[in-house]
């Protein structure tokens, strides 16, 4: 199973890793967006949340994976990743890795039903001020659609086991490892119980994990 996941992640990255700045690399941006749409559509109907910035229309792609009847009335867990990049970058780690994992989570949860509804979202225009996620958050507020939890997948591919390979803003180096070989969980005070559960599951796979709150 792990080998299949690894192969799938590599295959996704081969399609995603290209210049796809939404303003200066529009062809790459379009191709990656349509690849994500096609992959998500293998598991359920893909919803499109359109939003406008400076008169131009952009798209967040949404996949809802529902559970049995007992869980349908629960607020969903939203798992998101952005597919745009900064100018002149192929975005392999930021955030091709996040999108690749998002696509594999779609496959996983389509087979292994969760106890809560899962909503997967590929956000656009995050590198220009979190515009896609802000627009979608405003939409959810207007529609009075609460979430149980939001998990953002960001830059999951970096790993360096060399000593002192992990750098931090001033002060944080005294609290976290100096080797960049771990998954970092960052959340606010309200998400602490969820972070503890997630980090426990991650550590069971022998992958180092660190939690912090903002």
pLDDT digits (tens, 9 = 90+) for 68-114: 666 678 899 999 999 999 999 999 999 999 999 999 999 999 999 88
Same domain? For 36 and 101 the reply is yes
Last residue of a domain, one of 118, 134, 156: 156
Peptide bond into 27 cis (omega under 30): no
Last residue of a domain, one of 137, 156, 175: 156
Q: CA 24, CA 123: separation in Å to the nearest integer? A: 18
Same domain? For 188 and 206 the reply is yes
Supply the angle between the helices 2-16 and 98-111 in degrees, to the nearest 10.
140
Same domain? For 99 and 167 the reply is no
What angle is formed at CA 23 by the lines to CA 22 and CA 29, rounded to 5 degrees? 30
Domain boundaries, position 181: 159-214
What is the number of structural domains in the chain?
Answer: 2
Q: In which band, very low, low, confident or very high, does the pLDDT at 66 lie, cut at 50, 70 and 90?
A: confident
Residues 135, 47: contact at Cβ < 8 Å? no
Mean pLDDT value across residues 32-49: 98
Residues 209, 159: contact at Cβ < 8 Å? no
The reported pLDDT for the residue numbered 77 is 96
> Rounded to two decimals, what is the model's pTM?
0.94
């Amino acid at each position: 199973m792990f080998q299949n996941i690894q192969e799938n992640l590599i295959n996704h990255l081969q399609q995603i890793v290209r210049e796809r700045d939404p303003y200066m690399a529009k062809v790459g941006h379009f191709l990656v967006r349509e690849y994500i749409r096609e992959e998500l559509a293998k598991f359920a109907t893909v919803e499109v949340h359109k939003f406008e910035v400076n008169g131009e229309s952009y798209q967040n792609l949404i996949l809802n994976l529902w559970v049995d009847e007992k869980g349908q009335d629960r607020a969903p867990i939203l798992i998101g990743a952005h597919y745009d990049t900064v100018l002149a970058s192929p975005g392999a780690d930021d955030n091709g890795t996040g999108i690749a994992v998002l696509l594999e989570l779609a496959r996983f949860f389509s087979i292994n039903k969760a106890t809560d509804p899962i909503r997967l979202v590929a956000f656009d225009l995050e590198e220009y001020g979190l515009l896609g996620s802000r627009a979608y958050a405003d939409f959810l507020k207007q529609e009075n659609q609460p979430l149980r939890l939001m998990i953002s997948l960001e830059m999951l591919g970096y790993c360096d086991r060399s000593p002192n390979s992990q750098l931090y803003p001033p002060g944080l180096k005294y609290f976290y490892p100096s080797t960049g070989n771990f998954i970092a969980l960052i959340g606010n005070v309200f998400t602490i119980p969820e972070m503890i559960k997630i980090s426990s599951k991650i550590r069971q796979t022998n992958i180092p994990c660190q939690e912090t709150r903002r």
